[in-house]
Structure formats: structure tokens, C-alpha cells
Amino acid sequence: MSSYFCDQQQAVVKLLGSFGYDDAARAVYGCGYLEWKSRHQKKATDEQMERFNASKELHAKHDKELLENPKPEGAFSAPLTDHRSDALINTQACARIPTQQKSLLSNVCCEDIESIGPSTAQTNQNIAARPPMGRTELKLAILTVSDRAASNSYKTGDLSGPAVEQAIIREIDRINSKFKDQVITLLHVHRHIVPDEIDQIQEVLLKWSGKSQQQSSFDIIFTTGGTGFASRDVTPEATNSVLDRECHGLMSWASMELTRIQPLASLSRASAGICGSSVIINLPGNPTGAQEVAALLFPLLIHAVRDIHAT
């Protein structure tokens, strides 16, 4: 019996010894810590940093030397016992279990996200598309499709449309600062709200794509809302009815990437394609989800816009 429990303990200790920081993060977040941090952490504002520095005396303290040098290999703080008989297990046989010692000090704690390099141990990381070189000028339109937003039922007003606009502005700033061989300029942003009615969605999309000849077209048209399974969710149907050409690859890739952090993203019926000289993309109605999809697809959409105008 003691040999059996000794083997079990060895297996447990070996498993715990090989369970590193990134493994724990994947168990909690569903992805590596650096990937989660790069997706969700935002740079602190000056006000936040001022509060952070003012409260340093309250911050937890840890002994870095102790964490970098854990107990010697095979050491136990107390003898292990058999929970069935309370008899001491043969600790002589289990006294030294060969495990790979690792520093207990987090390699990402208290570091600026911008200073952390990519982890070589992580796989299947998101590969952001590199926008095309040169200058790109854009006109952007955002259509919120929602019965309640259209009827002013929200106390806060429409949140999805402004959220998408903010996400695109941030993404343009990020791209322009990272890639010095190209410049993206946002010339105009227009937002509008319609209820979940196919004819009203169609009317706006045709107008914004220049097909109704009432105005010049927008380069990128985002819709937000109406992509789910409810009977009133008709945005994909309205969009597909005005598209000249569909682009299944964009939404398939977005769904694949986003379902890794939110399985419910796979329930989206969103469409994408070309109408006239405009690219139309359906986004979810949730402001956070809409921002994530818009930011993820935006570098690819610049390529699409350049291709459309090149023909």
C-alpha cells in the first residue's frame, strides 16, 4: 500500500513541478498570460499612475530572493500521510523526488506590457495583419441596428456606435505609431441608428455605398447589432441582400480568433462583403465585442480598401 501512495505522490509532485506560470494562466484565462495581457490591458493614464504611486505603502511586498531560490530539490516541510489509515508513508522511499526547480517569481509581474517581449513557449498566437505601405485616407460609417437604441429606450443612449469609432481611432493611432512607412488618415466618421427592420437597413447601406446616388460612398461601413438568433436579428439578411460580393473569410477568421477567448462568439451570424466601392462588416451589438472584432479586422480592411480602389 505504501508503495502505491508513494507512486501517486511522485506523480502529483512531478505534475506540480512542471505546472509553470503560463500553464496556470492558460487554465484560468484560456490563453497565455502575455496574450491575455496584450488583448485586455490598457496603458495607465497619468491620473491612474499618480494614484498608484501615492498608494505604494499599501502594496504587497514579496521577497524576490526567496522566490528566485525556492527550497532545495526533494525537500518536504512535513511527512506525507495516508488519508485512509493515518499511518506514515515510507518517507525514505519518497524523500527525494527529482523535479525541475523553477523560480517562483513571476516574470511578468510589475512590468509594463510594452516592455514584455513575446514568449517563445507560447504557440498559436494571434498574428496581426500588417497594413499596406503608403498613405491611406478613409471615410468610415457606423450603423447601429437596434429597436431600443432607435426608440431612445437606453438611458445611456447608443453605446455600440461610439465604441466602434473609438476602437478604430485607437487602432489607427497604434498602426501609425508602429509602422513608419505608411500613414492612415481618417477623413470622416458618420454614425446613424435604425431599428431592426430589413428595409431601413438596406436603405442606409445602399445610400452609404453610393448605389442610391444620393451621396459619395464610404470606404468602410460597420453595422453593429442584429447578428444573433432572435427573430428580430435581421442585419445579416439585410446586408447579404445588398452585397455585390460576399467575403466569408473575414468573418470566419474573426470567429476562429475570438472564440478562443469567448466561446459565445461562435453564435454570431455576421456577414461581410463588398457593396459598390464599400466594404461592409457586421459587428455584434455588445460594445466590447464590437470593439474587439473591429480592431481585429481593421488592418485587413485597409488591404481590402486599397484593392477596391486599385481596380
Query: What is the DSSP code string of 50-115?
Result: HHHHHTGGGS----HHHHHS-SPTT--SS--B-TTT-PBP-HHHHS---------S-SSTT--GGG
Cβ-based neighbour number of residue 46 at 10 Å: 7
Asked whether residue 75 carries a pLDDT value surpassing 50, the answer given is no
CA-based Rg of the chain, rounded to a whole angstrom?
27
Instruction: Assess contact for 282 and 227: CB atoms under 8 A.
Output: yes
**Between 91 and 24, residue with greater pLDDT:** 24
Give the C-alpha separation, 302 to 295, whole Å.
12
Give the C-alpha separation, 65 to 103, whole Å.
10
- Give the per-residue pLDDT at 81: 43
Asked whether residue 99 carries a pLDDT value surpassing 50, the answer given is no
- Across the chain, mean pLDDT equals 78
Here the cell at position 57 is: 505603502
Residue carrying the nine cell digits 466618421 = 189
Which residues are CB-neighbours of 190 under 8 A, at least 6 positions away?
139, 140, 141, 142, 208, 218
pLDDT in tens, 204-235: 999 999 887 666 789 999 999 999 999 999 99
pLDDT in tens, 81-94: 444 444 343 444 34
Average pLDDT rounded to a whole number, residues 122-136: 63
**Between 141 and 76, residue with greater pLDDT:** 141
Fill in the amino acid letter for 234: V
- Give the per-residue pLDDT at 43: 74
- Give the per-residue pLDDT at 26: 73
Cβ-based neighbour number of residue 199 at 10 Å: 9
Look at 33-42, 164-173, 182-191, 261-270 and tell me which has the smallest mean pLDDT: 33-42
Angle between helices 160-178 and 287-310 (to 10 degrees): 60
- Give the per-residue pLDDT at 57: 74
Instruction: Assess contact for 292 and 261: CB atoms under 8 A.
Output: no
Query: What is the DSSP code string of 129-196?
Result: PPPPSEEEEEEEEEEEE-HHHHTT--TT---HHHHHHHHHHHHHHHHHHH-TTEEEEEEEEEEEEE-S
Q: How long, in residues, is the chain?
A: 311
pLDDT in tens, 100-123: 444 554 444 444 444 444 443 333
- Give the per-residue pLDDT at 41: 73
Here the cell at position 142 is: 457606423
Cβ-based neighbour number of residue 233 at 10 Å: 17
Give the C-alpha separation, 115 to 68, whole Å.
21
Instruction: Assess contact for 154 and 201: CB atoms under 8 A.
Output: no
- Give the per-residue pLDDT at 115: 46
Asked whether residue 79 carries a pLDDT value surpassing 50, the answer given is no
Instruction: Assess contact for 293 and 258: CB atoms under 8 A.
Output: yes
- Give the per-residue pLDDT at 120: 37
Q: How confident is the model at residue 125 (pLDDT cuts 50, 70, 90)?
A: very low
- Give the per-residue pLDDT at 64: 66
Which residues are CB-neighbours of 113 under 8 A, at least 6 positions away?
37, 38, 41, 43
**Between 141 and 11, residue with greater pLDDT:** 141
Beta 220-224 vs 245-246: how paired, if at all?
A: unpaired
Asked whether residue 44 carries a pLDDT value surpassing 80, the answer given is no
